[in-house]
Amino acid sequence: MKLELLFSGIGGQGVMLLGETLCAAAIRAGKKVTFSPFYGQEKRGGRTMCNIVVSDEMESPIISEAKVMLFMDERSLQDYEYMMAEDGVMILNSDTIDIEPTVKCAKVDRVPIYTMAQELGNAKTMNMVALGYVLKYLPEIDYNLVIEEVEKAFARKAKLIPLNVKAVETGYAAAQKAE
């Protein structure tokens, strides 16, 4: 099997941590995983994007097209939508994206990721909400392993673990309810 993913947003939204956590869980599921981050020189506010490849053999860490894409803002969508696979799924943060994708794909999910995070009491958890949602399209990656990796990712700030686990649960539950 080979799964190619692309996540993108604005620096500070946690797209990198989302990707890294997902990869750590996929490795524990026995897969070969590469995570290639792309970001500018800015600490916050710049573009962030990552290519993720989950496969059985070693592959190129740079992808040609993505089966699952997640966009947190309009600029990211405009920049990277051309890499969408025609049979793939695009997940858009509907709180900040009003425009329509201009490329063909099998499905577009509009998810109020920011609102959901805010309702949890902390907008910064939007990356974890998104992580939970994305899992809907990655049945190869076990939900419980992801939760364990989220706990590890926040090990140095242990008091944030329950909130972030809750955020993953929220995103995951929303995805199960969605069509």
Partner 1 sequence: MSKEAVFMQGNQAMAEAAIRGGCKMFFGYPITPSSEVPEYYARVMVERPEENITYIQAETECSAFNMIAGAAAAGHRSMTATAGPGFSLGQEAMSYMSAAGLPGVVVQIMRPGPADGEILPAQGDYFQITRGGGHGDYYTLALAPWSIQELVEIMQESFVLAEKYNNPVVVVSDAMLAKLRESVVLPDYTDNEAAPEEKHNTLTGAKGRKRHLITTCGFGAVQWNQFNNDLQKKYAEIAANEKRYESYFMDEDPDIVVVAFGAYSRVCLSGVKMAREAGLKVGMIRPISLWPFPDNAFEGLDGKQFLVCELNAGQMVQDVKLSVKNKDDVHFFGMLGGIVPTPKEICAEIQKVEVK
Binding site for partner 1 (CB under 8 A): 20, 23-24, 27, 32-38, 41, 58-65, 83
User: With respect to partner 1, which residue has the nearer C-beta, 86 or 100?
Assistant: 86
Beta carbon of residue 155, minimum distance to partner 1 (angstroms, whole number): 15
- What is the spatial distance between Cα 76 and Cα 93, in angstroms, rounded to a whole number? 11
Q: Tokens standing for 107?
A: 């499905």
d(CA 132, CA 58): 26
Q: Measure the CA–CA gap between 5 and 80, rounded to whole angstroms.
A: 12
Looking at beta carbons only, is 86 or 179 nearer to partner 1?
86
- Of 20 and 169, CB closest to partner 1: 20
* Phi, psi angle pair for 131, to nearest 5°: -60, -45
Which residue is it, tokens 């969408």?
A: 84
Token pair in block for residue 115:
């609102």
CB closer to partner 1, 27 vs 163:
27
Strand segments, DSSP code E, in the chain are 2-10, 32-39, 47-55, 66-71, 84-93, 107-111
- Comparing CB distances to partner 1, the nearer of 88 and 120 is 88
Answer positive or negative: Cα dihedral of 82, 64, 1, 149. Answer: negative
